[in-house]
């Protein structure tokens, strides 16, 4: 089937990546050793239909954010990542933009934490990568919902249970952090669009933005209402990667508790959709 250089490159690279190398479970019969389109889509946070259209040449102009996500999912090095941007007719983000690059060290760490829900966010709180257990715990997001601030103020929220007080504190923390990011990256167009959309769409965000609150993120215990395994109360810690401006969100359960049992159960049944 006719395609584009970008589509051919995506398919070729997808077929070279094994599921186990990116932390996905291996099971059932596979016609090839590489990733399925569904698996690449899940890793990159885009739809399967969009991956199909890119590979078949029916979509030839993805955004820089999508190309960055595909490069991460395919574990591309710097040279191959730059080539993928070139095939898409784009230039990789420069030093004045929020980085979406995940370093090899961070990637290897995530690959080893298969029994712990872990996700990586950029400085705007846009989810870059989540391991299967994190997705099973929190659900799968696409498009604007990948950004945690957008989801809090304009989206459908999350499975985390909140009181009015805890939701208010979360919103203050998110605005404070996003405002600090905007001060570090004043020329990033994607960040400016995000802030403009939030200020226009949410009067509460706009008020907090004008107040410029100071509220550093702190570790917290969060209760997640899961549709299959029920309620889990977990410790949520956010780690910052020095020099890369990344946030790593980690959920853990106290050993020997009902929450630990339910998290282990989720590790068995919650990722089965990726097997077969």
Mean pLDDT calculated for residue range 245-273: 89
Query: 98 or 143: which carries more pLDDT confidence?
Result: 98
Q: pLDDT at residue 276 above 70? A: no
Average pLDDT for the chain: 87
Q: What is the pLDDT of residues 158-189, one digit of tens each?
A: 999 999 999 999 999 999 999 999 999 998 88
Query: 272 or 190: which carries more pLDDT confidence?
Result: 190
Distance CA 3, CA 11 (A): 10
The percentage of the chain sitting over the pLDDT mark of 90, rounded to a whole number, equals 50
* pLDDT of res. 274: 40
CA distances from 39 to 15, 70, 237, 238, 258 (A): 11, 11, 27, 26, 31
In terms of Cα–Cα distance, which of 97, 135, 136 is closest to 270?
A: 136
Taken in order of first residue, the domains within the chain and their CATH numbers are 5-21+30-87 (1.10.260.40), 104-274 (3.30.450.180)
Query: 260 or 28: which carries more pLDDT confidence?
Result: 260
Query: 221 or 96: which carries more pLDDT confidence?
Result: 221
The percentage of the chain sitting over the pLDDT mark of 70, rounded to a whole number, equals 93
Contacts 24+ apart (CB under 8 A), 197-200: 197/150, 197/154, 198/149, 198/150, 198/153, 198/154
* pLDDT of res. 27: 63
Q: pLDDT at residue 128 above 60? A: yes
Q: pLDDT at residue 227 above 50? A: yes
Query: 127 or 105: which carries more pLDDT confidence?
Result: 127
Structure tokens given for 3: 């395609």
Predicted TM-score (pTM) of this structure: 0.77
Main-chain phi, psi angles of 249, to 5 degrees: -100, 125
């Amino acid at each position: 089937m006719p395609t584009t250089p970008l589509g051919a490159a995506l398919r070729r690279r997808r077929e070279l990546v094994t599921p186990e190398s990116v932390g996905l479970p291996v099971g059932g019969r596979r016609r090839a050793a590489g990733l399925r389109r569904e698996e690449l889509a899940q890793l990159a946070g885009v739809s399967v239909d969009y991956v199909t259209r890119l590979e078949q040449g029916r979509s030839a102009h993805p955004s820089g954010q999508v190309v960055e996500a595909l490069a991460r999912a395919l574990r591309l090095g710097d040279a191959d990542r730059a080539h993928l941007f070139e095939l898409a007719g784009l230039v990789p983000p420069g030093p004045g933009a929020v980085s979406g690059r995940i370093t090899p060290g961070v990637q290897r760490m995530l690959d080893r934490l298969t029994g712990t829900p872990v996700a990586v966010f950029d400085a705007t709180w846009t989810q870059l990568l989540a391991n299967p257990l994190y997705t099973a715990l929190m659900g799968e997001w696409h498009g604007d919902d990948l950004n945690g601030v957008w989801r809090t103020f304009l989206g459908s929220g999350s499975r985390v249970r909140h009181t009015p007080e805890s939701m208010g504190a979360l919103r203050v923390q998110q605005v404070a952090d996003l405002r600090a990011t905007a001060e570090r990256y004043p020329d990033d167009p994607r960040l400016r669009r995000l802030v403009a959309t939030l200020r226009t769409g949410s009067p509460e965000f706009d008020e907090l933005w004008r107040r410029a609150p100071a509220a550093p993120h702190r570790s917290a215990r969060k209760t997640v209402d899961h549709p299959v395994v029920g309620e889990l109360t977990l410790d949520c810690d956010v780690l910052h990667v020095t020099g890369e401006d990344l946030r790593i969100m980690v959920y853990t359960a106290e050993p020997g508790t009902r929450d630990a049992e339910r998290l282990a159960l989720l590790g068995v049944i919650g990722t089965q959709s990726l097997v077969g």
